[in-house]
Amino acid sequence: MLLLLLLLPVCWAVEVKRPRGVSLTNHHFYDESKPFTCLDGLATIPFDHVNDDYCDCKDGSDEPGTAACPNGSFHCTNTGYKSLYISSRWVNDGVCDCCDGTDEYNSGIICENICKEKGRKERETLQQIAEVTREGFRLKKILIEEWKKAREEKQQKLAELQAGKKSLEDQVEMLRVVKEEAEKPEKEAKDQHQKLWEEQQAASKAQREQELAAAAFQELDDDMDGAVSLAELQTHSELDTDGDGVLSEGEAQTLLGGDVQMDAATFHDRVWAAIRDKYQSEESPPPLVPPQPASPTEDKMPPYDEQTQAFIDAAQEARNKFEEAERSLRDMEESIRNLEQEISFDFGPNGEFAYLYSQCYELTTNEYIYRLCPFKLVSQKPKLGGSPTNLGTPLFRSTWGSWAGPEHDKFSIMKYEQGTGCWQGPNRSTTVRLLCGKETVVTSTMEPSRCEYLMELMTPAACPEPPPEPPANGDHDEL
């Protein structure tokens, strides 16, 4: 309709006689040959009372051309531009409200008729809008064709992935079995290696204890008769058990298990463990115990033998192949989910909004950088740096819900909700209004209510189909 109005040829207007301030559509109510009936039907007055600067009708319809009725309306013809109704109170108030100046006919103010200039500018603006609409719709048709082709390719790719998934699942399961079979001899060999090393450690420790016990026995056996007596044991007061600093005969006999003396073998088996932490050698100031810690090489398990290492290498290779196949399966499943989600999205009646799916657009203001990623999220971050604030994730991020536009134009608005919470306020949300444009760009953003943002996104996908252009040299019609 807009384009048709623009392209209508210039036509001749026929002047219809009517009282001042009356529109052409209402002139038949004002017949000077008979009394005037108020438009609300409540009163009838002589016609010469119309526009007599006195308000006779309650609805003010008898004074369309004067300021007598505060509730009346004055019609500006505005030839060359758009006709307009203004309040009767503005008639002859010294302000030019009608572009043709007809509202100031008796105020002493001279109003220049600027309707033709305003009409020219209006037509230029409308022509520009029509051009944007035509070009935007041309691009929209291209977007539709691109999505149609891309959707077919994605569906084909999805079918290929779904077909290949079963084969890859079988491969993963086969490699799992191979891995588990390879890990069995690996585990057995490693366990055996560990066991041998622990046995060696235990034997080495027992040998050291045996040597320590033998050295202590030899030192305690003062008379070298091959036995440690109560008196010989009592020479080591550090072995005192009751804390009085003296090892009594009774305490010594208790340590010897009730015997009065003990040979070397029995000393090692029955006494050494009880006294080893207290015993101090007489020959060297440092205590004989605790023993010196083993060197790092003694605590470190020796390298695996060649056969065990071969089992380990074989198992590791099987693990690597299994993990690689498992990663490939996960990647394939992720690709399938993404393709299924994208294909199922409602990208408009003909998929014209699909190209926005993988894009993001930014708008920089004096304070913030706003980022819109359609069908995903909206964010805001300080211009001078800082972490972004989530202004809302779309209602249709995980599962598609619906667009937020009115029923007759539902693809005109997107709604993003559940963003970062405001301080002592609601979660942020963003309404994105889609407007027709030749380019895709965020044109404005504002916060009309606390924590509720409004964005405008220009896109060819929002351009409606323009009406057909009339023939360039067609016959003109009378208005």
pLDDT, tens digit (0-9, with 9 covering 90-100), for 281-301: 776 554 444 555 555 455 788
Residue 92: what pLDDT?
96
- Which amino acid is located at 137 in the chain? F
Q: Domain residues of the chain, as ranges?
A: 16-112, 124-280, 354-462
Residue 3: what pLDDT?
44
State pLDDT tens for residues 33-72.
Answer: 999 999 999 999 999 999 999 999 999 999 999 999 999 9
Q: What is the mean pLDDT of the chain?
A: 85
d(CA 171, CA 328): 11
d(CA 321, CA 311): 16
Give the rounded percent of residues in the chain with a pLDDT score beyond 90: 57
Task: With a cut of 60, say whether residue 476 has pLDDT above it.
Answer: no
Task: With a cut of 80, say whether residue 398 has pLDDT above it.
Answer: no
At the topology level of CATH, where does 354-462 sit? Cation-dependent Mannose-6-phosphate Receptor; Chain A (2.70.130)
Residue 297: what pLDDT?
52
H and E: helices and strands count for the chain = 8, 14
Residue 1: what pLDDT?
44
Least confident of 82-96, 217-231, 369-383, 431-445: 217-231
Residue 449: what pLDDT?
87
Predicted TM-score (pTM) of this structure: 0.61
d(CA 245, CA 242): 8
Helical residues (DSSP H) of 221-305, grouped into ranges: 230-234, 249-255, 264-266, 272-275, 296-299
Residue 293: what pLDDT?
54
Secondary structure (DSSP) of 56-86: -STTSTT-TTSSS-TT-EEEE--TTS--EEE
Q: From residue 206, how far is each of 194, 196, 273 by CA, in Å?
A: 18, 15, 12
